A and B are shown apart, each in its own frame.
Chain A
Amino acid sequence: MMKYFHFARMAFADYSNNRLRMTTRFVVYMMLAWVMIGMWRVIYATGHGPVGISLHDMGWYNGIVQMMFFLSPRLFVVIDEDVRSGNIAYFLNRPIPYLWMRLSEGIGALCVHLIVFFTFGTAFLYAYLGAWPSIGVVPVVAALTLLIGGSIIHLLFQICCGLGTFWTDDAAFIYNAYMKVMLLLGGIYLPISLYPSFMPIKLIELLPFSSMVGAPSALLIGVGSFWGVLGLQIVWGAVIMVLLHRFYAVCLRKVEVHGG
């Protein structure tokens, strides 16, 4: 395990030293959160806000949802470059599985983002919205805790997208497709509980996308339970890890057949 720790430590140092990247990311986050909260402000102003959820709480929901996208590093880009440049062949010779090496690097970078976004991001939301959600500060802590699990699952999905480069020569468009699914099924624009009746809400709530972002944030509007979401994250995390491991084995065979 120590070797994984050291890869995570190096990624932590790299990401914490690159202040420009961090600042850009945070500024973009603030802009997107501001815009999304602004959208709900307009909706509430025209009298179409959902009954039982105040604009203030919806603001917190949107702010935390947007935060999720900025916590994980863009790991698929690294894997995409490794595959396209052929560098992956050098990594395969090392006495450490490439897959878990990249995941540990991703977790190292994630830790930097967690520190920055959980402190400054929460402070920004508090300053912008003026107070904690009406349900209290504890659900904020619970939602942020669940975002950690969601971000790790997001990293696993990113690795899947990155490994897709073996077939498509470009991970970006696979990642974009994944992100669009996430936008639709993750409850990014509005809580899943408010989805119209033609959407299979019960099914959507059981999918990994919901457990990664929509369900943790829904705690802020009094929907769902911490342990239920955590259980779902653990199940989906384990399933995706197993599938990813098998997918990686297929990719390895492809490298061995075609060369690095």
Chain B
Amino acid sequence: MAGNLRYLWALLSITFKSVASQRGAMLLRGVFAFVTHLIYFPVWYVMFSFTPSIGGWTLQHAFLGYGISIACWGIVALTMFGLRTLPQQIDNGELDSYLTLPKPVLLSAALSTSRNSGLGELLVGIGFICFAGFKYHIDLTFIPLILVMGSIVFASGILFFASFGFWLRQFYASAEELYFNYNLMSSRPAPIFTGIFKIITLTIVPIGFMTHIPIEFIMTHQFKFLAFAMVGTVAYAIFAIAFFYHGLKYYESGNRFGVRG
């Protein structure tokens, strides 16, 4: 366990060194991400100029929802971009080299690449959350925990969808479509998800644990919501990891296995 943690830290260190070495590109992408999201947010101003709330969801909820979802997108892009390319790695047989290592395949595959635009998105997300906190006097003490939980839920969702690539060839484009819309839906108002969609947001596409329930906790300070989100996060992460390893067994049983130096 300690060895795996050291390996995790080493991979993260390499990622951050790589990001830091491309300061120019990172700055350009960061500025672009910032401007992009600033352009987008007036959409919600337009929407809430029309109606004061959507089922109790107001502009402050929208700030928090969008901030959390975009920050989680940034964290995953920055640290675990390999998860998003998993279907490609599977198709190209790139997991073979990780299978020969004594370290967990998932760690190696997930943390092997990063996208430095993620830093810009993370900062924009935090900016939105802080703005909401100051403007509407919202207690932000639990935001770091909520961002970690949200990132785990989002990363687990990506892992779950990407793992279908073990059985389905050329799944990369479809998977990208799913990740993007998964994140997009997490910033939508919680009250619009009712009936079957409410169940979906708490099970196979658990955006409820990523934004809706944590925001409920921030606004009401009822710890039952935080506890529910934590249990849901852990359960979904275990499910996604188990699903990945189930797929990996199928991959290992294939005849494309090869070893590269």
Contact = CB atoms under 8 A, between A and B. Distances in A.
Interface of A: 18, 20-21, 24-25, 28, 31-32, 34-35, 38-39, 41-43, 45-46, 48, 50, 74, 77, 168-170, 172-174, 176-177, 180-181, 183-184, 188-190, 194-196, 198-199
A21 B33 CA distance: 28
B47 A77 contact: no
Contacts of B36: 173, 176-177, 180
Contacts of B42: 184
Contacts of B174: 20-21, 24-25
Interface of B is mostly: helix
Interface stretch (B48-56, B94-102, B245-253): B48-56
A196 B178 contact: no
Most buried by A among B54, B184, B192: B192
B46 A174 contact: no
B20 interface: no
A254 to B, nearest CB: 17
B194 interface: yes
Contacts of A190: 46-47, 50
Contacts of B47: 189-190
A74 B46 CA distance: 28
B32 A177 contact: yes
A42 B198 CA distance: 14
B117 A170 contact: yes
Given A25-B174, A176-B36, A183-B43, A194 B29 contact: no
Interface stretch (B10-18, B128-136, B165-173, B213-221): B165-173
A48 B51 contact: yes
Contacts, number: 103
Contacts of B50: 43, 48, 50, 190, 194, 196
A26 to B, nearest CB: 11
Ranked 5 nearest A-B pairs via Cβ: A48-B51, A180-B40, A24-B174, A196-B49, A177-B36
B171 A20 contact: yes
B39 interface: yes
Given A180-B37, A196-B50, A24 B177 contact: yes
Given A43-B51, A169-B25, A173-B32, A183 B40 contact: yes
Contacts of A176: 36
B193 A35 contact: yes
Contacts of B32: 168, 173-174, 177
A169 B116 CA distance: 12
Interface of B: 25, 28-29, 32-33, 35-37, 39-40, 42-43, 46-47, 49-55, 115, 117, 168, 170-171, 173-174, 176-178, 181, 184-185, 188-189, 191-194, 197
Given A39-B189, A177-B36, A184-B40, 6 more contacts: A21-B174, A39-B192, A48-B51, A176-B36, A180-B37, A196-B46
A77 B49 CA distance: 36
11 contacts: A21-B173, A24-B174, A41-B192, A43-B51, A77-B176, A168-B25, A168-B28, A170-B29, A170-B115, A172-B117, A174-B32
B46 A38 contact: no
Contact of B181 (A31, A38, A46, A177): A31
Nearest to B194: A38
A189 B181 CA distance: 15
Given A20-B168, A21-B174, A177 B197 contact: no
B29 A35 contact: no
A20 B173 CA distance: 10
Nearest to B205: A31
A70 to B, nearest CB: 9
A173 B117 contact: yes
B86 to A, nearest CB: 16
Contacts of A41: 192
A256 B106 CA distance: 42
Given A177-B39, A189-B43, A189-B46, A42 B191 contact: yes
A240 B6 CA distance: 52
